[in-house]
Amino acid sequence: MAKSRILIVGATGYIGKHVTKASIALGHSTFVLVRPSSASDPSKAQLIESWKAGGATVLHGSLEDYGSLVEAVKQVDIVISAVSGTQVLNQLKLIEAIKEVGTIKRFFPSEFGNDVDSIQPVDGPLKVLDLLFGPKVKVRRATEEAGIPYTYVASHGFAGYFLANLVQPGHTSPPRDKVVIYGDGNAKAIVVDEDDIGTYTIKAADDPRAENKTLYLKPPTNILSLNELVALWEKKIGKTLEKTTLSNAELLKSIEETPVPGNIFTAIIYSIFVRGDQTHFEIGPNGVEASELYPEVKYVTADAYLDRFL
C-alpha cells in the first residue's frame, strides 16, 4: 500500500522537528507548513533547508491564515499538528479546514504529553494545569464532533525535559552532587526519547489499529520512579548523590505562590512525579500501546540515554 502524504503543522517546534525527521526517514511524501518569517530565523532556515534536501515540500502559511490551511490540507492525506501549548486552541481553525476539504484520512492534534482524558481531577494550586490540559480536551472534542478520524499521541515525558537533568529544573545535564526528590519519589513516570516519539507517531499514521484511538508511548524499560532514575545514574557515575526532599505540601505551596506561567512546570512535575498521572490507569479499549504495535522500533532506553552524559 502506498504511504500517505503527510502534512506537519508546527514542524519547526520542539517535537515537530522530530516528527518531520521521522516522516522523511520513513519514506512519506512530507509537507511542512511554516510561517514565511521562519526563513529569516537562522536556526529554522537551516532546518527547513535540510528538509528540502530530504525531499520535503515546504508550504507557507499559519493557523491564523485559514486560506493557507485549506490549500495545504488539500495536498495531503494525513495532518499532524505539533504546535506549541500557546497555539493549541488555534487548531480549531485547522479542524474547520480539514472538515471543509473532506479528504483527510487521519488527524493527529498536538498532544505529546499526558493523556488529558485520564488526568486525575485537579483542584487548589493544581488548577493551573487546566491552562495546559483544558485546551487539548477542547480540541479532542471538536475533532470528534467534526467526525474526523483521529489519533491522539500520549507520548508522556520528553527525555530532554525530565531524563537529561533527572527532573532538576535549571540543569542541562544530570547532577553529580545533589538532587531534589519530590514527595516520596516512588510515583512511576514515563520518559521517551524525542526521536522515538517522532518514529512512533509516523508509524501510526497509516495504521488502522491506531484510528480513533489514543496511542500510548510506554516503553517498558522507561517506566521509572524518580528514585529509580537517580539510582540508575548513581550506579553509572559510581557515586551517591546528596538528596533533599520537597514534600507534597512544599510543592503545592510553591505552585500556589508562584505566578503563572512560572508555576506550570512545577505543577507538571507534581502531576507526573508525585501523583503518578501517567501511570495510575490501565489502557482501555480506546487505546493502543506503541511498543506493542511496533516491536521493530528499537527505542532508546533510559539507561542508554543517560550514557550520553558520561
Return d(Cα 77, Cα 60) in angstroms, integer.
18
Is the CB of residue 181 less than 8 Å from the CB of residue 245? Answer: yes
Return d(Cα 90, Cα 111) in angstroms, integer.
14
Annotated active-site residue 136? The verdict is yes
Closest residue by Cα to residue 118 from 304, 253, 271: 271
Amino acid at 299: Y
Amino acid at 263: N
Catalytic site residue from 21, 136, 213, 218? 136
Active centre residues (catalytic): 136
